[in-house]
Amino acid sequence: MIGLTQPWALALLPLAALPLFLRWLRASAVPRLDLRPVDGASRAVDHGLKALGILGLGALVLGLAQPYLRGGSVVHRGIGTNLVLLIDRSSSMDDTFAGRSPSGAEESKASAARRILMDFIAGRPDDRIGIAAFSTAPMLVLPMTESRSAIASAVSALAEPGLSQTDVGRGLTLAMGMAAQEAATGARAVVLVSDGAAVISPEVQVMLRNLAAQQPMNLYWLYLRSKGSKGIFEQPQPGEADTPQLRPERHLHIFLQSLRLPYHAFEADSPGAVEAAVAEIGRMESRPILTRRPVPRRELGWLCYLIAALAAAGLTAARALERPWAEARVKPLLVLP
């Protein structure tokens, strides 16, 4: 759809008809033009010069009106998913995989996760992504969007130091709610990135089960395991206590398995393992998806001015090639012997 910034300029458009009444080249008097032969090339040049004049003036006037193509969005069929990234912002995420504060070239779990997620997002242009974070309380960082710059900014913003608590249950509620509310077509997935878990209260568990029952979605947990901590797949030793308070990660894993959703858990104890896990998630979440891509407003004035300039160049060339029918070299009236 074309719009005009200065529509009043179109009032000058009748000027484009001037070449129909005014000639561009200087006239050369030739008697009985109707009795002289006309060739096709001359006829074409005749009409062409008129057309160039009309086109040039018309394009100039249109350029003054500053036309533009309205922006918007177009439906795009790509490969990806509706993805909600739920990122743990607890203070332990600021430690390294070795469980200490990063020093020198060492990378914290949070920064490694950010870097790897940034690469992951950059390699998946068709995903619609939303971001949520949780620590003491869940936070909606970015609603579902296709804007890559907004997503990258939101991931970068997670570099701020985290808080002490890990309210994973309410974080999951928020993320699954975001994924469930997303009206777009295509698959849905929630990726939980955390280095720990906490006890999920019974009422939150009910909410999560309800959400899982309402809207099917894929659930991934990328567990960033610190050195010395228990793995989520590790079975307790005989006689070892196995309660949610002592082994919250293992019990969260069991709970997520019980939601009857497609669920995959990855345990990563190094940045390389995180990359491998994220790549695996990417492979599994490559399905056809219809997304909308934003189309920015495009100015068309330059195109009008370019057309006007080309027309003017053509007319200038015509003037350069102009010549009279006969050179004015009038001989004397009377020649005497």
The reply to whether 22 sits near other proteins by the rule CB under 8 A is no
Contact string (CB under 8 A) for other proteins, positions 101-140, x = contact: ----------------------------------------
The reply to whether 31 sits near other proteins by the rule CB under 8 A is yes
Closer residue to other proteins (CB): 283 or 331: 331
d(C-alpha 78, C-alpha 60), whole Å: 40
The reply to whether 1 sits near other proteins by the rule CB under 8 A is no
The reply to whether 325 sits near other proteins by the rule CB under 8 A is yes
The reply to whether 17 sits near other proteins by the rule CB under 8 A is no
Following DSSP, what letter does each residue of 78-146 receive, concatenated? Answer: EEE-EEEEEEE-BGGGGS-TTSS---TT---HHHHHHHHHHHHHHT-TT-EEEEEEESSSEEEEEEEE-
The reply to whether 337 sits near other proteins by the rule CB under 8 A is yes
Shortest distance, position 323 Cβ to other proteins, whole Å: 3
Distances (CA, A) of 299 to 5, 33, 303, 304: 10, 47, 8, 10
1, 75, 183, 321: residue in contact with other proteins (rule CB under 8 A)? 321
Among the listed ranges 71-79, 100-108, 130-138, 318-326, the one in contact with other proteins (CB under 8 A) is 318-326
Count Cβ neighbours within 10 Å for each residue of 94-126 and write b for 16 or more, e otherwise.
Answer: bbbbeeeebeeeeebbbbbbbebbeebbeebeb
Shortest distance, position 300 Cβ to other proteins, whole Å: 31
Nearest to 208 by CA among 263, 171, 163: 171
Q: Which of residues 36-95 bind other proteins (CB under 8 A)?
A: 36-39, 41-42, 45-46, 49
Tell me if 128 sits within 8 A of 145, measured CB to CB.
yes
By CB under 8 A, name the binding residues for other proteins.
Answer: 23-39, 41-42, 45-46, 49, 318, 321-337
